[in-house]
Structure 1
Amino acid sequence: MQLKDGSRLLLLCLLALQQFDFNAGARILAPFVFPGKSHFMMTNAIIRELVKQGHEVTFVTPFSLANEKLGANYTEILIKQWPIWPTLLKLTNAKSIMDMTDMSTEEMLKMVYIMGLESTDFALEQPEFQKLVHAKDKVGKYDLLLAEQFYNEGAYILGHLYQIPIVTITTSAYHNVYDSFVGTITPWSYSPHLYKPYTEHMSLTQRINSIYTCLLEEAIRAFWYYPKQDAIMRKHFSKIMPVVPTIKQLQRNVSAILFNSYMPLESPRPLAFNTIPVGGLHIKPPKALPANIKKFLDEAKHGAVYFSLGSQVRSADLPPEKLEIFLKVFRGMKQRILWKFEDEQLPNLPANVMVQKWMPQNDILAHPNVKVFIAHGGLFGTQEAVYHGVPVLGMPFYADQYLNIEKGKNAGFTLGLDYRYITEEQLRSSLTELLENPKYMANMKRASKVFRDRPLSGMDTAMYWINYVIEHRGAPHMIAAGVDMPFYQFYMLDIVAIALALVLLPTLALCLCCCKASKNKKQKLH
């Protein structure tokens, strides 16, 4: 009897072992060439998780992770950083990033597309990138290309050369321009342009303005941006390839897009099967705070306010008169203020204010005594505030920050200020409202519950779909037929033309007949 039981147990163990795939780790090439530091909050989190799950990752990056010692499965190819901020300040004639508040949407579009062209050209000519291009025996070396869905589509050439599918990651919310390369049509009537501070409930004027911007961007991409990117591709690859694929052709090899948003920060919209919301995947369980910050927050009997303008906007660059407004208001508050401030020697610092040039934002927002977050409206910080349930006082400076703050205002957990015109009374009044009116905290707690309530976490969702695309060799069954349709078919312009012809041609024929009959009648009268 014991022998039978032993045999049965051995058989069950063998069957169980068969369920494990000891060669499950895929080989992933991940070129992320745009040197936007904040973008790598999401990118680095994904790279770490892929390595943790046993995948072999070759990471092409301007920001090293070598000091994290990720192990034998991690290979890093470090490339030079394109000089992002000197270039952007020169393009915009701005003295600092804060001056970008005055930029129009048209100027912003021009800036990001020039930025994309120049940073792509710079990355493709780097020796480290060229080494990947000229490597021998490329086919079969990798299973997937993981890249950023930004303005560096030229990096997708590696997917073409290594004959592997592509999964892209966008660190922003869904952008209407993605429609053409995922094969869907977004209703512009309630889905505003990403750089417009409008919600899905737009007025007539707002809809006109948003649709105009969407059309303008489509025109920029079709008649200027794509031809420029194609020229860059020919510049770098025409000598080694008889036919250099266009950017549009490279985009057709994208199997899935992981975009950085989720309800309630993303409004309902039509999405293709291969367009996956993974917002908040960078958020980790809070770690223990540094002793000085923990003590400062623990002893905040009346609560605390956390103030940070992110990784790109520096509080130290605020004009002196604006700094004085903040210091005066903070000095008169009973709450404590944690301020990410790049100059730790800030003079006349009130006793209730602590400044440091770096602070662990996610861990701070998780502290129960933090009651308000003064922020610039960047998407990562907004997601962290929603996740931890902390109302926001937003001061946007550029890009999608206006939209993020407007969404928060519409949902009732954010108030907004324009730093250019901020007054002592406005700041004091806004902070008092957020701290003392319980509706903002209640609205934020509801939003936090929605943001957290999903079948899989953002990271687990991203891992599932990356693995899915690898397992199904590009998962072509997820790609909509619209990807391969020409522009006029995709937007049904041929059907519209036929419909107009069916209506107008008989009308025109009738008019001609009437004119001819009238002419004949006049001739008979004469």
Structure 2
Amino acid sequence: MTDAIIRELVKRGHEVTFITPLSLAKENLGPNYREILLPKYDTWADISSMMKTKSALDMIDMSKLTHMRLGQHIGIKSTDFGLAHSEVQELIHAKDKRGKFDLLLVEQFHNEGALMLGYIYEIPAITIATFAYANHFSQVFGFVNPLAYVPNILLSCTDRMSLWERLENVVISTAEDVVREVSYYPQQDAVIRKHFGGILPHVPTVKQLEQNISVILLNSYLPLTSPRPMTQNMISVGGLHILPPKTLPEHIRSYLDNAEYGAIYFSLGSQVRSADMPPEKLGIFLEVFASLKQRVLWKFEDDQLPNLPDNVKVEKWLPQADILAHPNVKVFIAHGGLFGMQEAVYHAVPVLGMPFYFDQDINIKAGQAAGYSIRVDYRTISKDLLRSALHELLTDPKYQANMDKASRIFRDRPLGAMDTAMYWINYVVEHRGAAHLVAAGVHLPWYQFYLLDVTAIMLAMVLLPLLTLYVLGRKMKSVRAIRALEKEAKSE
């Protein structure tokens, strides 16, 4: 998503300095493009050491709170890692900063320390939420999140929640807010002080930096994200990474063109590796695939897969969006990552979802609720379950009809996703941060934001008269008791 924005900015004549671990140098973007190439932060080494996992497949058993803690841990480590890079340090310690840049674009996901680059260069900041939506955006952008129908990204429920799901939503969201306040933010603040304390007399906190975010570009759009309140500076641009389909490599194109009964595309993304599945799991997929009339194109990361059926083709890397655009692809077996789900909806391919971690389950559940996907559990998957799910997706026309409907909604916009992003980027530059877009709620302390001070006054207005009546009643009762005792004493 970020790469797509960078390419488009350069194409439209902007000068861009891109700090990234994933080089675009081979694309020869021209003299307007400068790259600061970071070494790759080893995320999976961190995960393996913290969680004692061997592969991403093992993350399926992690609790919601563990997922939250893991994301925050990686955020602290990777932010420190990036800011420590020599060329980033040169940017931080540059003498003449005024007028060098007009805008900071920065990832929103656990990357708050990078907002300091906007602060020291005195330029507005736009964040990019590649993961779509998070509960804490409520505080960051100044609106009250209605937890009755907006599920936390860590939960696997839709906007139609049961009583217990709403209870869990409140508990998890509250826990996330508390952990951010008492643990995560202080750690990010420490990273900021480490890298900027030497050049600034006063180092702002993360919360102060977040108050100056001009716009956030959200990787979301209907119907993949349910309707919810958003402020005017929260802009939905989901799917902007999807380009017109390119011509497929000849061996892939002919394989799909000649699929008389259609084809199934199978990929678990870039982090979850099919090659890490144990032999018994691989055997389930291979036996079921062998029984199908359809061809199967499988992104498989090893050089060989033993006992490969004649109707199955494996490749280490495949151009996913271009494959999903092929008319013969009838089902996408996926882990439910947001980008893959967007591509499936855009190209109207029903999904057999097998989620593992983070937002994958909630993405698949949304597809289930909309009637264009079926969910299976990797831990309990069997030949019968897999065969039944594929048969249903391939033969019941309602799944394709529902996906066609979802695709029309996703594509139907007043302005294309990339053009929308470019409009708001230019808008923020033109209006020097566009402070008029930022809700006043971002500047309120938490007790005012949630109207706890007003609630306290209203409770006092109700309870004080009742308390007064109670005290008067007790006093009168006491007086009557004393008089009764006095009367009794006189009569004796």
2:345 counterpart (377, 386, 389): 386
The correspondence of residues 411-426 of structure 1 with structure 2, limited to 5 A, is 411-426=370-385
1:219-255: per-residue Cα shift (whole Å, max 9, x none)?
0111111111111211222222111110011111110
Query: In 1, distance between residues paired with 2:357 and 2:467?
Result: 51
1:184-212: per-residue Cα shift (whole Å, max 9, x none)?
11211000101111101000000000110
Correspondence for 2:402: 443
**1:149 corresponds to 2:108:** yes
1:358 counterpart (309, 317, 339): 317
1:131 Cα offset (Å): 0.7
Correspondence for 1:98: 57
**1:122 corresponds to 2:71:** no
Correspondence for 2:146: 187
Correspondence for 1:166: 125
Correspondence for 2:490: none
Correspondence for 2:489: none
Q: Tell which deviates more after alignment, 86-95 or 437-446.
A: 86-95
The correspondence of residues 74-113 of structure 1 with structure 2, limited to 5 A, is 74-113=33-72
For the residue of structure 2 that corresponds to 1:393, the secondary structure is strand
For the residue of structure 2 that corresponds to 1:258, the secondary structure is strand
1:495 counterpart (445, 449, 454): 454
1:344 Cα offset (Å): 3.1
**1:427 corresponds to 2:375:** no
1:493 Cα offset (Å): 0.6
Q: Tell which deviates more after alignment, 222-231 or 283-292.
A: 222-231
Query: In 1, distance between residues paired with 2:205 and 2:264?
Result: 50
**1:258 corresponds to 2:217:** yes
1:403 counterpart (362, 386, 394): 362
For the residue of structure 1 that corresponds to 2:110, the secondary structure is coil
Correspondence for 1:53: 12
For the residue of structure 1 that corresponds to 2:161, the secondary structure is coil
For the residue of structure 2 that corresponds to 1:468, the secondary structure is helix
Correspondence for 2:473: 514
Correspondence for 2:429: 470
1:318-357: per-residue Cα shift (whole Å, max 9, x none)?
1110000000000110000000001131111100001000
Query: In 1, distance between residues paired with 2:308 and 2:414?
Result: 46
Correspondence for 2:488: none
- The two structures, once aligned, show a CA RMSD in angstroms of 0.7
1:462 Cα offset (Å): 0.5
**1:246 corresponds to 2:205:** yes
Query: In 2, distance between residues paired with 1:364 and 1:233?
Result: 43
Query: In 1, distance between residues paired with 2:329 and 2:107?
Result: 34
1:80-117: per-residue Cα shift (whole Å, max 9, x none)?
22211100111111111100000010111111111111
Query: In 1, distance between residues paired with 2:301 and 2:140?
Result: 41
1:333-382: per-residue Cα shift (whole Å, max 9, x none)?
00000000011311111000010000010110000000000000000000
User: What is the TM-score of this pair, normalised by structure 1?
Assistant: 0.91
For the residue of structure 2 that corresponds to 1:71, the secondary structure is coil
Q: Which amino acid aligns with 2:408?
A: K
**1:135 corresponds to 2:135:** no
Query: In 1, distance between residues paired with 2:14 and 2:278?
Result: 48
2:29 counterpart (49, 52, 70): 70
Runs of 4+ in structure 1 over 6 Å off: none
1:317 counterpart (267, 272, 276): 276
Query: In 2, distance between residues paired with 1:90 and 1:506?
Result: 59
Correspondence for 2:308: 349
1:157 Cα offset (Å): 0.4
1:503 Cα offset (Å): 0.8
For the residue of structure 2 that corresponds to 1:176, the secondary structure is coil
Q: Which runs of 5+ in 1 are unaligned?
A: 1-41
1:52 Cα offset (Å): 0.4
Q: Which amino acid aligns with 1:138?
A: K
Correspondence for 1:485: 444
1:372 counterpart (331, 339, 347): 331
Question: Equivalent pairs: percent with the same residue?
Answer: 59
Aligned length: 485
Query: In 1, distance between residues paired with 2:38 and 2:294?
Result: 45
1:18-38: per-residue Cα shift (whole Å, max 9, x none)?
xxxxxxxxxxxxxxxxxxxxx
Correspondence for 1:15: none
Query: In 2, distance between residues paired with 1:291 and 1:487?
Result: 59
1:428-451: per-residue Cα shift (whole Å, max 9, x none)?
000000000000000000000000
Q: Which amino acid aligns with 1:101?
A: I
Query: In 2, distance between residues paired with 1:224 and 1:291?
Result: 53
Query: In 2, distance between residues paired with 1:429 and 1:81?
Result: 41
1:425-474: per-residue Cα shift (whole Å, max 9, x none)?
00000000000000000000000000000011111111110011011110
Query: In 2, distance between residues paired with 1:288 and 1:233?
Result: 46
Q: Which amino acid aligns with 1:334?
A: K
1:291 Cα offset (Å): 0.4
For the residue of structure 2 that corresponds to 1:305, the secondary structure is strand
Query: In 2, distance between residues paired with 1:179 and 1:200?
Result: 17
For the residue of structure 1 that corresponds to 2:409, the secondary structure is helix
**1:276 corresponds to 2:243:** no
Query: In 1, distance between residues paired with 2:303 and 2:189?
Result: 47
1:219 counterpart (172, 178, 194): 178
Correspondence for 1:178: 137
Correspondence for 1:10: none
For the residue of structure 2 that corresponds to 1:309, the secondary structure is coil
